[in-house]
Amino acid sequence: MTATGMTGTSSIRSRLEHRSRRGRAASVTMVAVLGLSLSGCFSSGFVYVSRRSPDGTILGFKLPGKWATFDTQQVLEATNGPISAAEAKNIAAGEWEETFSSAPHPNADFFATAENSKYPVGFAEARPLNAGERDAFNMGSLRSEILGTDPYSAPSPDPYNVTAYRDFASATNGLRGSSLTTNIKLSSGATATLSQIVEVDANTNWVFAITVSCRAACWGPNSGVINQVLKSWSVKGNK
């Protein structure tokens, strides 16, 4: 997938290609849901979202209680239309997805709204990697997971201006990843801002990610709550 934000098509939206009803593998067990409401443990008005992947890795993050959330089936229906639970399981092929939005009229389809939203919107996932992906997976793959291309090697004209970046690795469980914040110049002339944290497990079997995006004009006034959401992201893998 390539960045196409400068040519009239959303660069983030290109990430949607893997979610179509066609072209997905046969059914794989869905990620188990462990949704918890733990607002008393955090800042007033926040709730905690938690999921466990089949390998035992636990993901979690907190959101303002008034933000809307959409589970995997709702996200898939936003891009495929009404589907049964069995169809959702087949399309997901083991992937868990959750989108969230602070917009007054929220949309489950993060990738269709992320670059033009006037309110913070976000996406989280736990995605199994296939054998081909595992063989070629590297730091560029982490940076490309949400955007569909690596901002550090984007084709010309380059719509990305990376404003913050760091790599990290855990000595206890082998998780490794990166966090990245970038401005994205849109074909309309406007600018969007996106921040992401993407990690892979020690055996390169799973990718775990969270991202938040909105128009650059919305980012500054909402940077405090956006940073709270991103800093709350936790991936606890097996030792």
HEC string for the chain: CCCCHHHCCCCCHHHHHHHCCCCCCCCCCCCEECCCCCHHHCCCCEEEEEEECCCCCEEEEEEECCCEEECHHHHHHHHHCCCCHHHHHHHHCCCEEEEEECCCCCCCCHHHHCCCCCCCEEEEEEEECCHHHHHHCCHHHHHHHHHCCCHHHCCCCCCEEEEEEEEEECCCCCCEEEEEEEEEECCCCCEEEEEEEEEECCCCCEEEEEEEEEEHHHHHHHHHHHHHHHHCCEEECCC
Query: For residue range 216-231, what is the model confidence (pLDDT) as tens digits?
Result: 999 999 999 999 999 9
- pTM here? 0.83
User: Has domain 5-236 been given CATH number 3.20.20.140?
Assistant: no
Domain ranges, ordered by start, for the chain: 5-236
Query: For residue range 30-76, what is the model confidence (pLDDT) as tens digits?
Result: 233 333 333 333 445 899 999 988 778 899 999 999 999 999 999 99
